[in-house]
Amino acid sequence: MNKYKDIHFEISERKILLRIFDVVFVLFFLYFVGIVFKFNYFNISSTNFYWTIVLGLYLNFIGSVFEMYNLQVASNQFQIIKSIILTTSTTVLLYLLTPVYTPVLPTNRLQILIFFIAIFSALFTWRIIYVRFFASNRFLKKVILICDKEQMKELVEGLENADPHYRVLGYVNSDSSDVSMQTSVKIKSIAIDDLEKFVKEFSISEIVIASQKTDGITVKLYNQLIHLLENGFIIREYTQVYENITQRIPVQYVSRDFYRYFPFSRSNQNHLYLIIVRFLEIILSLVGLAIGLLLIPPVLIGNTIGNKGKLFYTQERVGKNGKVFKILKFRTMIKNAEKGGAVFATTNDSRVTPFGKILRKSRIDEFPQFYNILKGDMAVIGPRPERPVFVNEIAEVMPFYETRHVIKPGLTGWAQVNYSYGATIEDSLIKLQYDLYYIKHRSLFLDFNIIFKTFSTVLFYRGQ
């Protein structure tokens, strides 16, 4: 077994660690405060154990909404403070407002302040420990790439940008046809004969094979890899690593082996799952339409002053199985915004009015689409429906793009909560990777995860 590797944590392990110790630290601080300050609002005992369970659930749920378990946020002490304040405030407020499952409101308002300070201090203390210790260089995941030199820069950036604890220390050039090409990425080139020595010397956690040319894996390199595998070192294929870290499918590296990499989720054909989802969609669409009706008066006033056009507008979009339908939205652009032809919407698009920007940032412009969901043209969660002209244009240059249409398009989706507006073909490629990941891993758990992230998008005013 390999005895040279340093300790590191996988992404899932870090998230579990964060969730567990959020609750542990909060309960410990509340117990400590109860002893020192005679804090009587929250007592941990066998008779009221459900108070503890409810508090733990609230912390994990609200923490998800406010990105407490986003590893990029969790590793930044300045960003995490904002999330801690929002999580603590919302958790305390919700806990105080649900006395059926939580303690009766205290008569002394100082108790509420102590409750808030205890939770905030607990979360802050634990997250500072995490940033200074668990997110430090001592727990980096050290990796070697086996790839073509011309691909190395893109491969390294794709992995390290997605996981702040992932570090590529070296690479073995698998392109025997060109060894002279220069690269701007300062990653050490490793000779095949030195591979095993390098792995042991630098405590490498795993070796990732990203070569798309089978002749690049020579007999000498193959034998080295087999020997490392026999000694307990992990060897993985790049597309699997990329999908696990980034939570999107690297279609640019899949080539024509589509079904090898995209075994679609069984949920796409699971009748029970589809029935449950449709039932929830009907309920959510009715609630959404009711809220939309309440929003019509202020939106109508703002539209009359700011947009000076019809309140609603329709547009053709491509739905499930390529069927075209008309989507309904509140107007956000000037009249005749596309008199010169259809173009991608972009960040700071000049066609979007100031009032339209407010509607887009807050996602209020999407409320009429609950009508499309009620009709069955759309789902609550799925790839965002694109216009036919853009679908044809993108499909010509991007493999597997029309695969998005195997399920209904959604009001929100995995791409929408993880990536900004797609203003270019390159942006569309990244969003396609997220959409295919959703189609491959579709489940109720992922659906709820997307809903939590959608709340974060709205609350942090990140709409486009």
Rama region for 106: left / alpha / beta (φ>0; ψ in -120 to 50; rest): beta
Domain of 407 in residue numbering reads as 266-459
In this prediction, residue 237 has a pLDDT band, given cuts at 50, 70 and 90, of: confident
Is the same domain home to 80 and 197?
no
pLDDT at 124: 95
Is the same domain home to 418 and 301?
yes
In this prediction, residue 361 has a pLDDT band, given cuts at 50, 70 and 90, of: confident
Is the same domain home to 121 and 188?
no
Tokens of 46: 């066998």
How confident is the model over 52-64, as a mean pLDDT? 90
How far is 449 from 201, CA to CA, in rounded Å?
40
Residue in the structure block whose two tokens are 């102590």: 114
Is the same domain home to 195 and 97?
no
Considering only CA atoms, give the Rg of the chain.
26
In this prediction, residue 340 has a pLDDT band, given cuts at 50, 70 and 90, of: low
Cα angle 281, 282, 286 (rounded to 5 degrees) comes to: 115
pLDDT at 289: 94
Residue 254 located in a structural domain: no
pLDDT at 371: 95
3 state DSSP class of 29: helix
How far is 346 from 161, CA to CA, in rounded Å?
23
Residue 425 located in a structural domain: yes
Is the same domain home to 343 and 448?
yes
Residue 260 located in a structural domain: no
What letter does residue 317 receive in the DSSP assignment? E
Residue 290 located in a structural domain: yes
Choice among 28-32, 259-263, 331-335, 370-374 with the minimum mean pLDDT: 259-263
Is the same domain home to 123 and 144?
no
* CATH number of the domain where residue 225 is located: 3.40.50.720
How confident is the model over 72-79, as a mean pLDDT? 79
In this prediction, residue 181 has a pLDDT band, given cuts at 50, 70 and 90, of: very low
How confident is the model over 332-359, as a mean pLDDT? 71
Is the same domain home to 322 and 412?
yes
Is the same domain home to 414 and 281?
yes
Is the same domain home to 375 and 290?
yes
pLDDT at 349: 67
Choosing from 95, 112, 134, the residue where a domain stops is 134
Which has more pLDDT, 290 or 185?
Answer: 290
Residue 82 located in a structural domain: yes
How far is 438 from 426, CA to CA, in rounded Å?
19
How far is 179 from 250, CA to CA, in rounded Å?
25
How confident is the model over 66-71, as a mean pLDDT? 83
Choosing from 89, 104, 134, the residue where a domain stops is 134
pLDDT at 2: 47
Residue 6 located in a structural domain: no
The number of folded domains in the chain is: 3
Choosing from 188, 215, 246, the residue where a domain stops is 246
CB count in 10 Å sphere of residue 373: 22
pLDDT at 1: 43
Is the same domain home to 219 and 235?
yes
pLDDT at 23: 94
pLDDT(409) > 90: yes
- What pLDDT digit, counting tens, does each position of 272-314 carry? 999 999 999 999 999 999 999 999 999 999 888 887 778 888 8
- What pLDDT digit, counting tens, does each position of 102-126 carry? 777 777 788 888 899 999 999 999 9
By the 8 A CB rule, do 115 and 144 touch? no
Residue 444 located in a structural domain: yes
Is the same domain home to 69 and 149?
no
pLDDT at 36: 82
Give the helix/strand (H/E) hosting 141: strand 141-147
pLDDT at 243: 85
Which has more pLDDT, 167 or 371?
Answer: 371
Pairing of strands 166-173, 188-189: parallel
HEC-encoded secondary structure of 181-242: CCCCCCCEECCHHHHHHHHHHCCCCEEEECCCCHHHCCHHHHHHHHHHHHCCCEEEEHHHHH
Which has more pLDDT, 173 or 165?
Answer: 173
Residue 255 located in a structural domain: no
Is the same domain home to 315 and 361?
yes
User: Based on the number of CB atoms within 10 Å of its own CB, is 92 exposed (0-12), middle (13-18) or buried (19 or more)?
Assistant: buried
pLDDT at 184: 52
- What pLDDT digit, counting tens, does each position of 189-233 carry? 888 888 888 988 888 888 988 876 666 678 888 888 898 888 888
User: CB-side exposure of 46: number of CA atoms within 13 Å?
Assistant: 0
How confident is the model over 416-439, as a mean pLDDT? 82
Q: Is the pTM of this model over 0.75?
A: yes
pLDDT at 213: 64
